[in-house]
């Protein structure tokens, strides 16, 4: 579904009306749920827990449960009333180096395009790109306040919603006490060095999705689904040192065969 949202960016006294657009689309294959006896669609109805009757969409409201079986209804107007002018705008509070932000904080991304004030937009974009900085801001999208990172990539202004610090959970794994041997570490570094490459996203595709679509076409034609090639899996029985040595040797052989 296409997303388009009007907002504005401001830094200091500079004001830029903008619009946000999706940066990604879903390639997921959609499925419907059927009754296997009749191949008829399964319908999902919204039923009132008290009357058992179906409820129309226009009669459904949002509510917050503050005690057991007790709710307070929050209307759409209520969400708007608590928004300040600052909430409705993207006010840049600081500029930081991109290296300072751990990717774990990033959530969704949107393209940012100007809705006027194009010179100011171009100025901000070029200045940020030249300085290698990201703008940090906060804004309310829908009914949720979001931490925002504004960045420039390939000439495009991109807005990333971010998780707040309080939303990031600690790693549940305790300290790893296993000791790494120096020879093992040297081999691992050599393997990493031999596998080093530039990231070229166009070289990666959703292969499972392709196999799924192929399987669907085979089923439509009444054919048996082609069994996927399992491929090579690591042998858990061999030692770590042997696995490292074999990996490095296989990499050298692959390079020699190019």
Contacts by residues 44-53 (CB-CB < 8 Å, ≥ 24 positions apart): none
In tens, the pLDDT along 62-106 reads 998 999 989 999 888 887 777 777 777 899 999 999 899 999 999
pLDDT (average), residues 202-209: 86
- Tell me whether strands 106-114 and 156-162 are parallel, antiparallel or unpaired: antiparallel
- Residue 209 is predicted with a pLDDT of 87
Mean pLDDT value across residues 113-118: 92
Residue 255: which pLDDT band, with cuts at 50, 70 and 90?
confident
Q: What is the pLDDT of residue 136?
A: 96
CB 133 within 8 A of CB 183: no
Report the chain's C-alpha Rg in angstroms: 27
Q: Class for domain 4-26+81-166, per CATH?
A: mainly beta
Q: What is the pLDDT of residue 2?
A: 62
Residue 9 exposed, middle or buried by CB count within 10 Å (0-12, 13-18, 19+): buried
Angle, CA of 33, 39 and 41, to the nearest 5°:
45
Q: Is 1 exposed, middle or buried (0-12, 13-18, 19+ CB in 10 A)?
A: exposed
Mean per-residue pLDDT of the chain: 88
Instruction: Give which of 236, 251, 237, 231 is closest to 188, Cα–Cα.
Output: 251
Domain boundaries, the chain: 4-26+81-166, 178-195+234-258
pLDDT at position 141: 80
Could you tell me which residues come within 8 angstroms of residue 206 by beta carbon, excluding any fewer than 6 positions away?
27
31 has a pLDDT exceeding 60: yes
CB-CB contact of 95 with 104 (8 Å) = no
Q: What angle do CA 19, 23, 25 make, to 5 degrees?
A: 125
With a cut of 90, say whether residue 129 has pLDDT above it: yes
**Predicted local confidence at residue 236, as pLDDT:** 67
Contact by Cβ (8 Å): 54, 112: no
Q: Which of 149-153, 192-196, 244-248 has the highest mean pLDDT?
A: 149-153
Q: Helix, strand, or coil here: 224?
A: coil
pLDDT above 70 (res 1): no
């Amino acid at each position: 579904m296409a997303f388009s949202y009007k907002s504005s960016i401001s830094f200091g006294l500079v004001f830029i009306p903008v619009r946000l657009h999706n940066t990604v689309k879903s390639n997921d294959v959609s499925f419907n749920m059927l009754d296997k006896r009749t191949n008829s669609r399964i319908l999902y109805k919204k039923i009132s827990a008290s009357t058992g009757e179906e409820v129309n969409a226009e009669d459904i409201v949002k509510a917050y449960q503050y005690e057991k079986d007790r709710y307070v209804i929050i209307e759409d107007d209520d969400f708007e009333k608590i928004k300040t002018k600052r909430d409705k705008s993207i006010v840049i509070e600081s500029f930081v180096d991109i290296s300072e932000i751990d990717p774990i904080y990033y959530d969704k991304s949107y393209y940012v395009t100007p809705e006027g004030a194009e010179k100011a937009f171009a100025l901000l974009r070029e200045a940020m790109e030249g300085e290698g900085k990201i703008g940090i801001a906060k804004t309310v999208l829908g009914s949720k306040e979001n931490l925002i990172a504004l960045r420039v990539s390939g000439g495009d202004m991109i807005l990333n919603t971010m998780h707040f610090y309080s939303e990031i959970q600690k790693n549940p794994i305790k300290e790893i006490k296993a000791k790494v041997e120096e020879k093992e570490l040297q081999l691992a570094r050599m393997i990493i060095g031999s596998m080093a490459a530039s990231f070229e996203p166009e070289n990666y595709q959703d292969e499972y999705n392709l196999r799924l679509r192929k399987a669907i076409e085979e089923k439509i034609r009444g054919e048996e689904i082609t069994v996927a090639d399992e491929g090579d899996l690591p042998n858990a029985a061999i030692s770590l040192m042997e696995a490292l040595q074999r990996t490095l040797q296989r990499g050298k052989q692959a390079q020699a065969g190019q």
